[in-house]
Amino acid sequence: MASNADIRRLVLNDERLSTLILTFDHTLNIPQLQYALSLNGTVKEIVVYTDETFLPRFPMTEIRGLFEVLGGIPSLQRICFNSRSGFDGVISVQALIHVLGRASRLASFAVSDLKLEGTEQDWSQFAEQLQRSVYLKSFCIIECELSAPSAAAAAEGGAPAALMPPRGGVNGIGGSKTPLDPMVMVLSILPCMEKVYLHSTRTGGLGEISSQAVGALLLSASLKVLKIRDFDLGADTIKAMARMLQVNPVLKDLKVGTMVDFQMASAVAFATMLEHNSGLECLEVGLSKMISDECAATLAKSLKVNKGLKSFALIAEDSGGNGMMMTQKVSKPCKDAFVDMLRSNYVIENFVLFQRFPVKPEFKLFVTLNKLGRGRLLQAQETNLEQWIQALATVNDDLDALFYYMSINPDLCKLALQRMNAKTNALRPKKRQKIAAGLPAITNAAIANAAAIANLGVAAPAAGAPGAVTGPSGSGVYMW
């Protein structure tokens, strides 16, 4: 619950109170908080923490009034509902509907780590209310599960027992296996929507999602980030996604799973998409089982020509809600196919093949070089020596990277030897210089200068005269 100080600041419309953090449990004083919220016009963000004691404690009429006032704050832009730490938080879908019904300028809506109590009919009403959120940019349901409302809550909400939908469907909420489809369809047409997260604590926790709903979402004209996790996605859904992504120039970040039937047809569909889509920058695909070597080769071939992806990951995920992760080892042909791809792909800076840590050395070399600008150097029409030296300087502590650059440009080896020799000569003591006997004037002049400097007053003898300095054979003279 809000502190007394926060209540006073709410009533006084303190402009410094832009973010309000609330705790909803069985001790909440709803009338007091509702009154303070009704007077406020400055709060822009509300974060609510709740637990399993809140809903059973209060009648639905009081809860409805509280959530309507929450959404009715005219300055409200962001709202987030979370579970209290150490508790199993629960929130009613009907309560969320009341918030959306009053929040006219909401830009961000998030629900995290909660059980969402409601029937399939409740989710249809939620979708209808969501259509009015024309300013909404971010929509997140994270680590949540669908849950059937208790009989008491359903009856208090006005649904006679005889009219209540039969139990079944997803987690006993009744109806079909795709209760979120209407909501997903609405998200696809909201004009400002940029980010959508939908994932549960386990596969199937949010039910299923149809290929039509996923396809509609991928046709959104504004969506940039999409993360759909913990759904069992079959071959039809995979192909529908691939088709829509071919013509989607807006989406930048896609994380999707779990693909339960990723066979050759699905691999070909995704490969075709990767060859045509240059806007996607991050792609993460969760698979329920190891792909075949043929599928790996098909995907690797398409990634060779893709110029947009900076991050690509194939992830092992749980399927069926049994909590077991895939443990098969990556085959050598599969790994070799992707290593060959990375050798010629200068864009990918993050690559995962079923194992995030430790990063395989073959993958680490190329993605590190890509981060350091390998593509700019190797794809440039003309390069100068200084650019290659700078490239070597960025990897001077990585022998594999140094060898890679020198194997591409062998002239760097000659340059290294030249500079090494020059440095060695600079450090070596000067050797005696032999002056030819045919240049006596130079020799005698040097002697004269040395004598003059030493104030010896010795005149330089003429060549061949007594006192002239010659070598042992009379052919020349050696000086340091």
In this predicted model, what pLDDT tens digit does every residue of 398-416 receive, in sequence order? Answer: 888 988 988 888 887 776 5
Q: Report the pLDDT value the prediction gives residue 162, as an integer from 0 to 100.
A: 36
Match 């059980």 to its residue by tokens. 115
Q: Report the pLDDT value the prediction gives residue 425, as an integer from 0 to 100.
A: 61
Other CB atoms within 10 A of residue 239 CB: 18
Q: Report the pLDDT value the prediction gives residue 301, as an integer from 0 to 100.
A: 97
Q: Report the pLDDT value the prediction gives residue 177, as an integer from 0 to 100.
A: 86
CA count, 13 A, side-chain hemisphere, 208: 16
Q: Report the pLDDT value the prediction gives residue 356, as an integer from 0 to 100.
A: 76
Q: Report the pLDDT value the prediction gives residue 323, as an integer from 0 to 100.
A: 45
In this predicted model, what pLDDT tens digit does every residue of 276-302 receive, in sequence order? Answer: 999 999 999 999 888 999 999 999 999
Residue 30 has pLDDT above 50, yes or no: yes
Residue 47 has pLDDT above 60, yes or no: yes
Question: What average pLDDT does the segment 51-80 reach?
Answer: 96
Q: Report the pLDDT value the prediction gives residue 159, as an integer from 0 to 100.
A: 46
The two beta strands, 282-287 and 253-259, are parallel
| % of residues, the chain, pLDDT over 90 | 61
Average pLDDT, the chain: 84
Question: What average pLDDT does the segment 436-465 reach?
Answer: 47
- Compare 2 and 190 and report the one with higher pLDDT: 190
Q: Report the pLDDT value the prediction gives residue 456, as an integer from 0 to 100.
A: 43
Q: How confident is the model at residue 460 (pLDDT cuts 50, 70, 90)?
A: very low
Match 């079909």 to its residue by tokens. 176
Q: How confident is the model at residue 438 (pLDDT cuts 50, 70, 90)?
A: very low
In this predicted model, what pLDDT tens digit does every residue of 301-356 receive, in sequence order? Answer: 999 999 999 999 999 876 555 545 555 688 999 999 999 999 999 999 999 998 87
**Considering the domain 1-158+168-219 in this protein, what is its CATH number?**
3.80.10.10
Q: Report the pLDDT value the prediction gives residue 475, as an integer from 0 to 100.
A: 42
Q: What distance in Å separates the CA atoms of residue 211 and residue 190, rounded to the nearest whole number?
A: 19
Q: How confident is the model at residue 436 (pLDDT cuts 50, 70, 90)?
A: very low
Q: What distance in Å separates the CA atoms of residue 464 and residue 470, rounded to the nearest whole number?
A: 9
Residue 274 has pLDDT above 70, yes or no: yes
Question: What average pLDDT does the segment 79-84 reach?
Answer: 97
Question: What average pLDDT does the segment 216-237 reach?
Answer: 94
Residue 472 has pLDDT above 90, yes or no: no
Contact yes or no for 209/230 (Cβ under 8 A): no
Q: How confident is the model at residue 421 (pLDDT cuts 50, 70, 90)?
A: low
Q: How confident is the model at residue 46 (pLDDT cuts 50, 70, 90)?
A: very high
Residue 34 has pLDDT above 60, yes or no: yes
Question: What average pLDDT does the segment 98-125 reach?
Answer: 96
Contact yes or no for 143/149 (Cβ under 8 A): no
Q: Report the pLDDT value the prediction gives residue 451, as an integer from 0 to 100.
A: 47
In this predicted model, what pLDDT tens digit does every residue of 139-157 receive, in sequence order? Answer: 999 999 999 987 555 555 5
Residue 458 has pLDDT above 80, yes or no: no
| % of residues, the chain, pLDDT over 70 | 78
The tokens describing 107, both together, are 């830009």
For CATH 3.80.10.10, the residue range(s) in the chain are 1-158+168-219, 232-371
Q: What is the CA radius of gyration of the chain?
A: 37
CA proximity to 308, closest of 340, 342, 275: 275
Q: Report the pLDDT value the prediction gives residue 51, as an integer from 0 to 100.
A: 95
* Topology annotation, domain 232-371: 3.80.10
List residues bridging with 311 in a β-sheet: 282, 350
Q: Report the pLDDT value the prediction gives residue 477, as an integer from 0 to 100.
A: 40
Match 């997903």 to its residue by tokens. 184
Q: Report the pLDDT value the prediction gives residue 319, as an integer from 0 to 100.
A: 55
